[in-house]
Chain A
Amino acid sequence: MRNVLIIIKKELKRFFTDRRMLLALFLPGIVIYLVYSLMGNFIGGAVSTDKNYCYQIGVVESSEDLDFVFERVSLKNEKVEFSDVETAKESFSNGDVDLVIYYQKGHSGSMDSYEIFYNSADVKSTTAYAEFAPILSAISAEITPIFILSATDVATEEDVSMYVMKMVLPMLIMTMLLSGCLAVAPESIAGEKERGTIATLLITPIKRSYIAIGKVIALSITALSSAIVSFFGLVLSIPKLASSAGGMQMSLNFNFSFLDYLGLFIVILFTVMCFTIILSIISTIAKSVKEASSYALPVMILVMIVGLSGMLVGETVNEFLCLIPIYNTVQCISAVFSKNLTALMVALTVISDLVFIVVGVVVMAKLFNSERVMFSK
């Protein structure tokens, strides 16, 4: 164990005190943040609405409360009254009005209600919705609690970028985790082989399996910290990108519970270790960093495909699919976003990943012992 720690310490020193290495590790995250933010600003500039724009608010059946709401709204607006809901909807789909508020007086016994029609793919519509909905819900709760407020989003499914986001996010996260590993694993193993420094390590009395474990742990820590930076780069830039792309920030919900975060973190941790093992084995077999990187390319493509399979994960997940390493990551990340990540899923993921990691370390130790692999020219 002491020897494993010595190896870990040295590897971490290698990675975290080398300026070029740090750049390779953390630049992707910073670039993601900058590019996405910049993209967001450009798109934002293109679609942002004129400050003097007068919002057209369609109203079906006015009420006193509604007048009260209009008084409080700070947006410049014009009230357009409709006699029935159908003409209002028609006018709404033609883009003549930005929002439709439909007041329905409750019939004997039933409650009064407000329905709001808005389009989440349209900036003006979402801006108006964001302005009106809270005030309306506030007063309906405050004054007459018998109102029910319901909003109808008339955007078609394709419009909802959130949906796509949910599907793409697992792939993005997985690709980032893998790139973190890719920045360090070939350098640490194939690089040492190429430069002949690994032989110096193999001549020490330390067991080959300890060298393998030490390397994998150190690489995982490094890859994880790189992935965390990338992840924050992505998370911080999403609102900027989203706000410009049509009110997505309201639907993209990062409001997870502590347990969701914990589950996500555990899953990511084990995924990084799985990736590290795969890339470490590849790097052990490869004769040079260059060779290791080219062998890693198919792995990258495969991981992206597996990541995209998140699209196929429905709302109901088969928890036992979590027994497949790597694929279980997609399952779990998708589950977090649809808020149905269970402890069983995390447990199964951890167990199967752990088995995968142990087998990987054994394979690596075997490779480290093989003179054909370690000393091939």
Chain B
Amino acid sequence: MQETLIVQNLVKTFELSKKQQKIERTKLKIKVAVDGLSFTAKEGEIYGLLGPNGAGKTTTLRIISTLIKPNSGEVFVLGKSVIKEPEKVRSEIGFLTSELKLEDFFTPNYLYDYFSDLHGVEKSVSEKRKTELFKKFGIDKFAEVKIADLSTGMKQKVSLVVSIVHDPKVVIFDEPTNGLDVLTAKTVTDFLIDLKNQGKTIIISTHIFSLVEKICDRVGIIINGKMIVSDALQTVTGGKSLEDVFFDIYKKEVGEDA
């Protein structure tokens, strides 16, 4: 299978403000969020980035999505560099995170068309795809209701659909089921498996072990910005539960007191 995503020695640091220094209880002015991280993902697989909060998962995904630039290292999406050709990378990926919001003022129908236009999707293709996706997620029932008047679950569904208007080959979801009710969460995970079967590459970040065990083919465990393990799920777990494996690794890396 073709490697659609290649992440090489990614490093990203942030400057800490005085306030952030206090919160982090550190006197260092620079925080290393991602520290020499590398991994690859292939087409037709779901790759899960697993790690505690603040491990650098979201930062990594944001670099892959070209929202932020790495200090060093490189990411190739279908052979295109995120640093040199960010626009081309953006047309190949669908990125969904809770940080990306939709404007309250518009309806799902309008926003779908708007983003479809921005991605340059042909009108007939776009209409067909819209009908399918809206039906699949039940958006057709509230397609003309303003985003402001939708529930969290409905909003999340619309965001998801909008993020893949252009039928991207690589789909990146940051905490895909966070804050969703069980029904919506199920719809989303089913959809991810569906995408995988269509031959897409899916990268998700999560701290939910069961989600990784359920849908991921390969997993990368990130602790303190470093990739500790990156391999097929079975190889990583070796018959044990992912949770046990994770805590074993965590203790080894961070120490007993963690």
Contact = CB atoms under 8 A, between A and B. Distances in A.
B228 to A, nearest CB: 27
Nearest to A200: B100
B18 to A, nearest CB: 14
A7 B159 CA distance: 19
Contacts of B68: 371, 375
Interface stretch (A88-96, A203-211, A243-251, A300-308): A203-211
24 contacts: A3-B118, A13-B106, A13-B110, A14-B103, A14-B105, A18-B105, A195-B103, A196-B99, A196-B100, A197-B101, A199-B101, A200-B101, A200-B102, A200-B162, A203-B100, A204-B118, A204-B119, A205-B88, A205-B91, A205-B119, A371-B67, A371-B68, A371-B69, A374-B67
B244 interface: no
A309 to B, nearest CB: 40
Contacts of A235: none
A6 B126 CA distance: 15
**What size tier do the contact residues of chain A reach?**
20 to 34
Nearest to B68: A371
Nearest to B94: A203
Contacts of B101: 195-197, 199-200
A192 interface: yes
B90 interface: yes
B216 to A, nearest CB: 23
Interface of A: 2-3, 6-7, 10, 13-14, 18, 192, 195-197, 199-207, 371, 374-375
A192 B105 CA distance: 11
Interface in B149-191: 159, 162-163
Contacts of A3: 118
Interface string B66-106: 11110000000000000000011011000100011111111
A199 B118 contact: no
B246 interface: no
B69 A207 contact: no
Contacts of A375: 67-68
A7 B117 CA distance: 10
Given A205-B88, A207-B87, A371-B68, A199 B99 contact: yes
A160 B163 CA distance: 64
Contacts of B102: 197, 200
B60 interface: no
A13 B110 CA distance: 10
A291 to B, nearest CB: 16
A300 B186 CA distance: 53
Given A18-B105, A205-B88, 15 more contacts: A3-B118, A14-B103, A14-B105, A195-B104, A197-B101, A197-B102, A197-B103, A200-B101, A200-B102, A203-B65, A203-B95, A205-B118, A205-B120, A206-B87, A374-B67
What 7 A-B pairs come out closest when comparing CB atoms? A205-B91, A196-B101, A371-B68, A205-B90, A204-B118, A200-B100, A6-B117
Contacts of B100: 196-197, 199-200, 203
Contacts, number: 63
A201 B159 CA distance: 12
B137 interface: no
A193 to B, nearest CB: 11
Contacts of B65: 203
Nearest to B104: A195
B87 A10 contact: no
Contacts of B104: 195
B247 interface: no
A319 to B, nearest CB: 43
Q: Which of A3, A6, A7, A204 has the most CB of B within 10 A?
A: A204
A281 B255 CA distance: 48
A311 B153 CA distance: 60
B115 interface: yes
A303 B224 CA distance: 50
B93 to A, nearest CB: 8
A13 to B, nearest CB: 8
Contacts of A18: 105
Nearest to A192: B103
A6 B67 contact: no
A205 B105 contact: no
Contacts of A374: 67
Contact of A199 (B67, B115, B117, B120): B67
Interface in B183-218: none
A206 B105 contact: no
A135 B90 CA distance: 77
B114 A205 contact: no
A204 B100 CA distance: 12
A310 B62 CA distance: 51
Contacts of A371: 67-69
Contacts of B95: 203
A6 B69 CA distance: 27
Contact of A205 (B67, B69, B87, B103): B87
A20 to B, nearest CB: 10
Nearest to A5: B117
A151 B162 CA distance: 73
Contacts of B117: 6
A13 B67 CA distance: 27
A115 B19 CA distance: 79
A7 B103 CA distance: 14
Contacts of B88: 205
A371 B70 CA distance: 11
Nearest to B92: A205
B236 to A, nearest CB: 30
A10 B114 contact: yes
A199 B100 CA distance: 6
Contact of A204 (B90, B105, B159): B90
Contacts of A201: 118
